[in-house]
Amino acid sequence: MKKATCLTIAGSDSGGGAGVQADLKTFASLGVHGVSVITSVTAQNTRKVEATLDLPLDFIKKQIDSLHKDFRIGAAKTGMLANEEIIKLVAESIGEYPLVVDPVMVATSGDRLQAAEAVDALKRYLLPGATLVTPNIYEAEMLSGIRIRTIEDVKEAALAISEFTGAVVVKGGHLNGTDVLYYNGRFYEFSTEYYPGKYHGSGCTYSAAIAAFLARGFELTDAVKKAKEYITWSIRGAYSPGKGAKVLNHMFLKEREAERYSVLSDLEAALAKVVNLPGFQTLIPEVGINFVYSLPCPENLEDVAGIKGRIVNAGGRALVAGCVDFGASKHVARVLLAASSKDRNIRSAMNIRYSKEMLNAVKSAGLSTASFSRDEEPPGVSTMEWGTLKAIESQGSVPDVIYDEGAIGKEPMIRILGRNPQEVISKVKKIIKKLPVE
C-alpha cells in the first residue's frame, strides 16, 4: 500500500499539543506518511512557553537534505521559524512540491515564538515560493499592516498579502469562525460552527491538514475545505490533559466512527436490562417508549441510534417491538440532539408516560426538571427541538428531565436525559422507587 509523504518543518512542543507533534498526528490521521525537520525545541505546556532553543542552522539543513535523499515528498508545511536565518535557510532548501506556510508568531498562551524582524524575512524569502500562507487574524494584521475588525477587513488583508505569495487563507477563529481564502483572483469563505475558548495547536493542525490533502492530490480549494472540516471535528473532540488550553483530538473522527458498533451493542444491552425492571411497564405511554444513544457530538438523526418501533406494554409486561439502528428515532432523537448541542456529554434519552404522580416521583427522586408549553410554540419549528431548547434555557443548564403537559391531539410526555444508557436507567430506577405502590 502506497502512501503520500508530507513534510513538516517546525518547532517541537514538549506538551505534545502543537508544533511538529500536532503535525505528525494530523498526517497520520489523514492517511499520509509524516516526516519532520525540527527547527527549534521548546519547554512548554498548555499554559505557557517557558523556554525555547533554536537548533544550529547546519543541523536543520542536514535534516532537510537527509529527507530529500530518500523520500518523494508530496507537500510540505512550515510552522515555527524563529528568526531570519532559519527562514532564509528553509526557503533556499525547500524542494519542488506544494508548500503551506503557517506564519507562527505567537503561541496560544500569548508567548512570542518568532523574532519581530522575522516578519519581513517571511515576506522576502519564504512567501514568494509558497503555495499557500495561513495566517490568523493577528498574523494577517502583521503581514498586511491592515487592522482587521470585519470580514471586509479580512478580504483586504488577504488581497494585500497575496501580492507576495501564491494564495492566502486568513483563519477567522479570532473573529467569527469564518475563514477567507483568496486564490486565483477569487474569494472563498469557509464557515462552520464556532467554538469559543483556547485550543492549543489549532493553527498547526489546520495548515498540516491542508498540506496532507495537497500531498494526496486534492486541488487547493478542496484541500482547504476538507481541512476546515477536519479541524472543526478535532476541536469538537478537544480535551484537557493539562491545566491550560484544550488540546485538539486529531483522531476524533476515526474514534467516533469506531464507536458505531459499541453504541448499538450498548443500547441493545441497556434495552434488555430496562424492560425487565420490576414496574417498568407502568412508565410506558400510549405511543410507546423509545430509548436512544448517540455517537459523540451528534449532528443529525443518523448519528442517533434508537428502536425501529417502540417499547410497548404487552399484557402487563414491557416488550421491545423492533430492532436497534441508527436513524430509527425522530422525536426522542431530536430531543437528544437539542440537548447535546448545549452539553456534549448528553448522549442518551428516553421518553416515559406523563402524569401528576409520575412527575411527583421524578421530583421526589431528586432529579432536576424543566418544562415547556406547547401553547407557546411558534409556527414552523420542530416541537422537540424548540421545546427542549426552551426548557434548557429556562433551567440554565441541561436538566435530568424535560416534560410537557401536551396539547390537543398531543400526548403529554416526560423525557429523561443522561450521558449514556446506564445513567438513564439509573434515573428510571429512582423514579420507579418513588411511585406509589398499587
Tell me the CA end-to-end span of the chain in Å, nearest whole number.
67
CATH number at residue 348: 3.40.225.10
Could you tell me if 266 and 253 lie in one domain?
Answer: no
Could you tell me if 252 and 263 lie in one domain?
Answer: no
Could you tell me if 147 and 276 lie in one domain?
Answer: no
Q: How many domains does the chain have?
A: 2
pLDDT of the residue at 175: 66
Could you tell me if 244 and 293 lie in one domain?
Answer: no
Q: Is the sign of the CA dihedral 12, 14, 17, 22 positive or negative?
A: positive
pLDDT of the residue at 197: 81
Could you tell me if 342 and 385 lie in one domain?
Answer: yes
Could you tell me if 245 and 286 lie in one domain?
Answer: no
DSSP 7: E
Could you tell me if 219 and 112 lie in one domain?
Answer: yes
Listed residues 230, 257, 284: the one ending a domain: 257
Inter-residue contact 19 to 80 (CB < 8 Å): yes
pLDDT of the residue at 115: 59
Distance CA 134, CA 179 (A): 10
Element at 317 (helix H, strand E):
strand 317-321
The grid coordinates of residue 258 equal 469506531
pLDDT of the residue at 172: 79
Listed residues 224, 241, 257: the one ending a domain: 257
Q: Model pTM?
A: 0.85
Could you tell me if 425 and 279 lie in one domain?
Answer: yes
pLDDT of the residue at 166: 87
CATH number at residue 74: 3.40.1190.20
Give the structural domain span for 66. 5-257
Listed residues 239, 257, 275: the one ending a domain: 257
Could you tell me if 216 and 274 lie in one domain?
Answer: no
pLDDT of the residue at 409: 81
Could you tell me if 158 and 292 lie in one domain?
Answer: no
Ranges of residues in the chain whose predicted pLDDT is under 50: 109
